[in-house]
Amino acid sequence: MSSQAAKTAFYDEVCGFLVIAWALHYLPFFLMQRQLFLHHYLPSLWFAVLCFCAVFDFITSRVRPRTRIQIATIVLILVVWSWSHFSPLTYAGEWTRGKCERAKWLRTWDFSW
């Protein structure tokens, strides 16, 4: 087995495990027909973050370290922006009707005003 094939098989196993773990923690709450809270999603969030890290590692493993750091910096900036954009909703900060409408990325999102 070649080095690339062994590496791909390793990441297939890791990501497969993490996706199954995420699904086992997320799907029971997804199927519930009642109001859900942040603590319902937190266990699955850890597996999603670990899976993202494994995919990032796999995708960027063949680029130069400097480029890898630059890509990671861009991802970090996007994460910080996303957190700052949605933190008023999550942590009950100042939230206006305009911010609510701008924050909806999908029509199905229902932020009660």
Q: Which two tokens stand for residue 12?
A: 């297939």
DSSP string, 25-59: HHHHHHT--S---HHHHHHHHHHHHHHHHHHHHHH
Query: In this predicted model, what pLDDT tens digit does every residue of 8-57 receive, in sequence order?
Result: 888 889 999 999 999 998 888 878 777 777 777 888 999 999 999 999 99
* AA letter at 77: I
Query: In this predicted model, what pLDDT tens digit does every residue of 80-103 receive, in sequence order?
Result: 999 988 888 778 888 888 887 777
DSSP string, 87-105: HHHHTT----HHHHHHH-S
Residues 6+ apart with CB under 8 A from 88: 94, 95, 99
Against a cut of 0.75, is the pTM above it? no
